[in-house]
A and B are shown apart, each in its own frame.
Chain A
Amino acid sequence: MFKRKIKSKIIISLIIAVLFLNLAPTLSYAEEATTSSNEELERDLDLYEKYQKYEKYKKYKKYKEYKEYKEKYAFENSTERLAAKKAYELYKETKNQRYYEDYKKYKGYKNKYKPLKKYAKYSKYKKYNKSSYKGYGSNEYKDGYNRYKNYLNNSGEVSGDLGEANLGGGPLGPEITIGLWNYTRDNLRDSPFKLEANRNYNILNGDGVIVGQIAAETTTRVTYESDGNLKIYGSIGDTISAREVFFEDAAGDNSAIIFDIHRPDSDFDQYRGKVKLRYNSSTKLTWVINTLPMEHYVWGMGEITGTGDTDYNRVMTTSFRTYGYWKLKFSTKYAADGFKVNATPGNQLYYGYDWETGHSRIHDAAVDTQGKIVMHRGQIAITPYGSWTDGKTRSFEERWGSEDYPWCQSVDDPYGKHATKSTATLEDEGNHMVGLSANGAVKLANDHNWDWDRIIKYYYSGVDVKKVY
């Protein structure tokens, strides 16, 4: 009995020893990997930054190439170009020597100059024209760049094929810019913009240079000076900045900072993330713009109060996120003003941190659906929604004449049907009846226990709900 115990102990010890010896290098590697992961990340960050410099160096080189070909093959204007194009086609057909010179020039334009036109805008990278940056283009740098990019994008359960929805960002999603309100030049002179923050913050000028490091709760003011310049004062000596002024967390943690921006005629003064002022020389307006990750944007959504059924709130937060995502990807409407979406009901009503803290169920629903948007065959499926219908929704094509949004089909909507109002009255009140019917969704969630994704898939035909970050 005693011998058998000894024997079994020896056998078990031997098995463990053999296993340990086999895996010892791997184990030590695992330990090293854990302890050195931060160092590796820092190394990858370094490679990432250097590879970006190489990319800019390369683009500037291409710009110079573009300039060379421009001298040879560019046309003075579109009339000249079109004439040469005709001659080019005629020469190809007839081989008539009359057209040869134009044929030759247009061929050079088409095959040499035009492919390089995409580099026309990279004169701005002149400062990257340093021979030392050329060395940052090897596989070592490229691999580090890719690893760090993957690290920035990775957040667990992201869906496989994101199609056009791969916009980067961390677990809180890519950053979106929201136009909060604007000032005329006189308004800004009469009632200067002012802000404080709950943490120390930096002020940056239009060139992105830090012009002040300001203690928490200290007030900074900005007024319109002249010729598109803004004047910063209060917390620092009078400082002129061309066109833009930026406010960011001094420690770089823009998720933690809350700015109080004293929004005129509003009870909603506090906003997460970053704040900037931007003057638009065409409209002569200065916009106050909030920049923050997509999730924080959805948390501050003033379109709903969050009092309904949880699944209804999940439906709506997913719709808000999808709309924001679509705007982020495609919007050019406010490009000159420097933002993607405005904070009014015209886009989506956004009240920021004050609303978020007063309506925690919106936040909870957003967390439940974090990173999830509506997609249709690899496309971000813009999600129109409205309050009421007359018993059925309308297709996008029927209402607005485009077949580019096939997920917006007409479906029965018995629960979203308004009890008393006619179709004409509903339409006059702005109910387009395309896409999701909010009141229908409320009843499907409340009274019929439909899950949020079932509701979405009912109102938007053939869509998937995908986690994009």
Chain B
Amino acid sequence: MKNKILITVYLLIVGGVIYFAYPVIKSRYFQSSEDTSTQEESNENKKSLFNNSSNSEDEDESDDIPDESTVPDDVFIEVDAEDCEDNCEQFEDAEDKKYCQEYCGLNNNESTASTDDCEKLEDLEKDYCYKNQALAKKDFSLCKKIVDKKLLESCKTRLTEEIINGSNPVTE
């Protein structure tokens, strides 16, 4: 009888030890692959920072600048939701500010232009024109004519917002 009690106590102790020790051992000795990748990413970041700073040293040697840009050509400038909430006030450059406002939909310009008018414009002005048209006409095919990737995304999501707005009634 006593033996049985001892064995039960023994099993309980072993169980308890394993229960408490397992997570500690796991976190101590087995680093997750995610942590490893974060570390690798951090090293990569460091490398790219280093590369950037070395670039800045040869700023006078324009001819030595590599042809490959580090930012895709199809995005003019980085803009995020925080910039939209700030009414794009952080941008000093007029062209940057306009891009931000067009991206965020803060321009409030109802398009009166025709598709032909947009075609006559160049570069970003053409993209802005198509975005305004797409929203005015609720036409996704006009969004597709936008070259700048971020403006294209904003055109599609904004148009989706406009379409879904008022389209979700539930009558039980």
Contact: B69 with A384, CB < 8 Å?
A: no
Residues of chain B within 8 A (CB-CB) of A112 are: 55, 59, 65
Interface string of B129-172 (1 = CB under 8 A from A): 00000000011110000000000001011111111111111111
Closest chain A CB from B51 CB (angstroms): 11
Identify the interface centre among B14, B95, B106, B156: most chain A CB within 10 Å of its CB.
B95
Asked whether any CB of chain A lies closer than 8 Å to the CB of B115, the reply is: no
Closest chain A CB from B99 CB (angstroms): 10
Contact: B81 with A26, CB < 8 Å?
A: no
Asked whether any CB of chain A lies closer than 8 Å to the CB of B113, the reply is: no
Residues 378 to 415 of chain A near chain B (Cβ within 8 Å): 382, 384-388, 400-402, 404-405
Q: How far is the CA of A27 from the CA of B168 in the complex (A)?
A: 56
Asked whether any CB of chain B lies closer than 8 Å to the CB of A430, the reply is: yes
Interface string of A293-316 (1 = CB under 8 A from B): 000000000011101100000001
Contact: A385 with B168, CB < 8 Å?
A: yes
Closest chain B CB from A342 CB (angstroms): 9
Interface string of B1-14 (1 = CB under 8 A from A): 01100110010011
Residues of chain A within 8 A (CB-CB) of B161 are: 327, 330-333
Choose the segment among A120-128, A201-209, A218-226 that binds chain B (4+ C-beta atoms closer than 8 Å).
A120-128
Partner of B6, one of A9, A78, A338: A9
Asked whether any CB of chain A lies closer than 8 Å to the CB of B110, the reply is: no
Interface string of B44-88 (1 = CB under 8 A from A): 000000000001100100110111111101001110010111010
Asked whether any CB of chain B lies closer than 8 Å to the CB of A195, the reply is: no
Closest chain A CB from B167 CB (angstroms): 5
Residues 15 to 34 of chain B near chain A (Cβ within 8 Å): 17, 20-21, 23-25, 28
Look across to chain B and name the residue whose beta carbon is closest to the beta carbon of A177.
B85
Choose the segment among A181-189, A345-353, A453-461 that binds chain B (4+ C-beta atoms closer than 8 Å).
A345-353
Q: How far is the CA of A78 from the CA of B148 in the complex (A)?
A: 14
If over half of A's interface residues share one DSSP class (helix, strand or loop), that class is named, otherwise mixed; here it is helix
Q: How far is the CA of A438 from the CA of B167 in the complex (A)?
A: 13
Asked whether any CB of chain B lies closer than 8 Å to the CB of A251, the reply is: no
Residues of chain A within 8 A (CB-CB) of B67 are: 107, 111
Contact: A332 with B17, CB < 8 Å?
A: no
If over half of B's interface residues share one DSSP class (helix, strand or loop), that class is named, otherwise mixed; here it is helix
Residues of chain B within 8 A (CB-CB) of A122 are: 90
Look across to chain A and name the residue whose beta carbon is closest to the beta carbon of B13.
A16
Q: How far is the CA of A34 from the CA of B3 in the complex (A)?
A: 34
Identify the interface centre among A81, A142, A338, A404: most chain B CB within 10 Å of its CB.
A404
Residues 1 to 54 of chain A near chain B (Cβ within 8 Å): 5, 8-9, 12, 15-16, 19-20, 23, 26-27, 29-30, 33
Contact: A332 with B157, CB < 8 Å?
A: yes
Contact: B170 with A438, CB < 8 Å?
A: yes
Contact: B20 with A430, CB < 8 Å?
A: no
Contact: B172 with A386, CB < 8 Å?
A: no
Contact: A346 with B172, CB < 8 Å?
A: no
Contact: B78 with A111, CB < 8 Å?
A: no
- With A332-B158, A333-B158 as contacts: A117 and B122 at CB distance below 8 Å: no
Contact: B169 with A387, CB < 8 Å?
A: yes
- With A33-B24, A333-B161, A335-B85 as contacts: A115 and B167 at CB distance below 8 Å: no
Asked whether any CB of chain A lies closer than 8 Å to the CB of B125, the reply is: yes
Please list the residues of chain A having a beta carbon within 8 angstroms of any beta carbon in chain B.
5, 8-9, 12, 15-16, 19-20, 23, 26-27, 29-30, 33, 65, 68-70, 72, 74, 77-78, 81-82, 104-105, 107-108, 110-112, 114-115, 117-118, 120-124, 139, 142, 146, 282, 303-305, 307-308, 316, 323, 327, 330-333, 335-336, 338, 345-348, 382, 384-388, 400-402, 404-405, 430-432, 434, 438-439, 442
- 6 pairs of A and B residues whose beta carbons are closest in the complex: A335-B84, A118-B78, A121-B90, A402-B140, A387-B171, A330-B157
